[in-house]
Structure 1
Amino acid sequence: MVRTFILLAALTALFMGIGYMLGGGNGAVIALALAGAMNLYAWWGSDAAVLRMHNAQPVTAAEAPQLYRMVEGLAQRAGVPMPALYVIHEDQPNAFATGRSPEHGAVAVNTGLLDLMNEQEVAGVVAHELAHIKHRDTLIMAVTATLAGAIGFLAQFGGLLAPRDREGRGNPLGIVGVLLMLVVGPLAAMMVQMAISRAREFEADAEGAQICGDPTWLASGLAKLERGKIGHVNQTAEAHPASAHMFIINPLSGFRLDNLFATHPPTEERISRLMAMSRLPGGASSSSVWVKPGKRNPWA
């Protein structure tokens, strides 16, 4: 809750700053009002907005019985309610969780992930996402995605639409301020993602390993995700880079300056930590083998 409050305050201040650059004091007041409305919307509706943004389709137990049973079993082990389950028709293998609370949690997996992984690896990835839901990371992740995207839009198009004369006097900082906003705005939207600590990914990895019962399942899944995204550009994520921090691995191609603002720790380090966990006493529980070993893609 404290992290969420700080983030919302920072984003509100950024909204006001852009409003001031667009219209001086009046612009700042209007931006403050808009930010207040956006904060309320982001708090209550950001999860649904992110799912729509990535064209996530709901999946029922009748449509994907094995996948549904897997998620349901993992949710019971995690001690959280069964989340809503979604599939995204996207070739890049990836997944994310969202929801303002465990009672409103949702897990979305790309079809590319289901095509690539066996059941143990899918279980490891889903367990990681359930850890985010259990830790209530999903609220701040969804709020960040929604507001950062709005800030990027305002910065890019607000400067072009702002009334000004030939000297740019409609903007308090003149034409230089307009150009600065157009350049810095998209970068600011990416930097907001860094408000979410990279440490939460390590925490979710560790918790996810405990939920699925075997750290090597998630380690193997992460390795496949990193290799599998090569050559697969996620166009929706590229169009909405502010949502990149929500995915289990960075979905962006790095064609722009994405790597400078990476919100994910190096995948190699995450795998190394998981493998170290597996070598500890009790690191791979015998009770973890509750899906059929080696069976590939039973839900395609």
Structure 2
Amino acid sequence: MNYVRTGMLMAGLTALFGAVGYLLGGSGGMLAALGFAVVTNLFTYWNSDRLALSAYNAQEVDERSAPELWRMVRDLAARADMPMPRVYLIQEDQPNAFATGRNPQNAAVAATTGILRTLSYEELAGVMAHELAHIKNHDTLTMTISATMAGAISSLVTFGMMFGSRDHRPNVIVQILLAILAPMAAAIIQMAISRSREYEADRLGGQICGNPVWLADALAKIAAGVSHVPNETAEAKPATAPLFIINPLTAGGMDNLFSTHPDTGNRIAALMEQARAMGVSRGAASFTAPGASPWSSAPRQPGPWG
């Protein structure tokens, strides 16, 4: 099902590429745009993780440079019966995190320094479990392709208006409408694909970490942090917003209308219902990963993390 969804996403965004190209440059523009879409899809498939990580200047860490975070991801991956992804840190004050990669064998998780300062150990475990759930479900390829293609559509509109054929270039009004509607159409495609995947990643993440309440508490803290701390890179590259566990964009209005993330309150409610079904509470003991020591359920102070 995940591969079908990815194929539908690529087909929809490729068709949108062709339509924009035709409006900007006629049949020749359409062929050029479709060719560009095919190249972009192929490049993104093989380089999706590097594209996302480089956009945020993420730095890979290991057991020496970030031992507690690295071991947490290792133990959660063992719990989820999946390969351990690479682990990255982003020097960013906004608390947030994302996962990327074309498959579980070629994946990475990234956390901002802001999230390490904001969350407790257990809450961060819930977040990392959510990101591992995206990887396990093969959502990361879908999200990264949609982010890259949506950004490329905006670039195509700008390029076409500046350098398109004069014989086929639309009038100023159509150009303005394209500049507004084409990225909006790409966002709608992203929204249709992404929202349901966040609920599923929350559910599976709650199972992986052993206590959905931890993830629910983390979502509340991250949402509060996002509302007060802007992420300048995300604001400059809004097409990457679906990658994050909480929408990193602080603008309201149309951004919220076409948000690729479900309402945070609804996500928290679903997680609390899952916790009740599992019979766990906020202070419930955590899991024991294969070959690892049990995690303490005693409250810990938020980061910084070593």
TM-score, normalised to structure 1, is: 0.93
Q: Please say if residues 117 and 304 of structure 2, whose CA atoms lie closer than 8 Å, have aligned partners that are also in contact.
A: no
Give the conservation status (yes or no) of the 8 Å contact 1:152–1:188. no
- Please give the secondary structure, in 2, of the residue aligned with 1:190: helix
Q: Indicate the residue corresponding to 1:22 in structure 2.
A: 24
Unmatched segments (≥5 aa) in structure 2: 289-293
Task: Give deviations 1:217-260, integer Å, cap 9, x for gaps.
Answer: 11111111111122211111111111111110111112462111
Residue matched to 1:96:
98
Deviates more, 1:178-187 or 1:11-20: 178-187
Quote the Cα distance in structure 2 between the aligned partners of 1:197 and 1:146.
14
Q: Secondary structure at the match of 1:195?
A: helix
Give secondary structure in 2 for the equivalent of 1:97. strand
1:253-292 mapped onto 2 (5 Å cutoff): 253-255=250-252, 257-283=254-280, 286-288=285-287, 290-292=294-296
Q: Is 1:84 paired with 2:89?
A: no
Matched, 1:225 2:222: yes
Residue pairs, 1:24-63, within 5 angstroms: 24-63=26-65
User: What secondary structure sits across from 1:121 in the alignment?
Assistant: helix
CA distance in 2, matches of 1:179, 1:219: 41
By how many angstroms is 1:176 displaced?
A: 3.2
Between the aligned partners of 1:12 and 1:114, the Cα distance in structure 2 is 38
Q: Name stretches of at least 5 consecutive residues in structure 1 with no aligned partner.
A: none
Aligned to 1:69: 71
For residues 129-187 of structure 1, give each alpha carbon's deviation from its aligned partner in whole angstroms, at most 9, with x where no partner exists. 000001111110111111111111111332132242xxxx532x433332221222332
Whole-Å separation in 2 of the counterparts to 1:76 and 1:226? 28
Say which is worse superposed, 13-22 or 191-200, in terms of deviation: 191-200
- Percent pairwise identity: 50
CA separation in 2, counterparts of 1:105 and 1:237?
21
1:295 aligns with 2:300: yes
Which residue identity is paired with 1:65? P
CA distance in structure 2 between the partners assigned to 1:214 and 1:129 by the alignment: 15
Find out whether 1:183 has 2:186 as its counterpart: no
Superposed displacement of residue 121, structure 1: 0.4
Mapped partners of 2:106, 2:36: distance in 1: 26
Query: Displacement, 1:188?
Result: 2.9
- What is aligned with 1:116? 118
Match of 1:125 among 120, 124, 127: 127
Looking at structure 2, the residues matched to 18 and 55 of structure 1 have their Cα atoms a distance apart, in angstroms, of: 31
Of 280-289 and 193-202, the range deviating more from structure 2: 280-289
Please give the TM-score of this superposition, normalised by the length of structure 2. 0.91
Give the Å deviation of 1:40: 0.5
Equivalent of 2:157, from 155, 158, 162? 155
* Count of residues in Structure 1 that have an aligned counterpart in Structure 2: 295
What is the alpha-carbon distance in structure 2 between the residues aligned to residue 152 and residue 184 of structure 1?
10
Q: In structure 2, do the counterparts of structure 1 residues 189 and 236 end up closer, same or farther at CA, with 3 Å as the change threshold?
A: farther
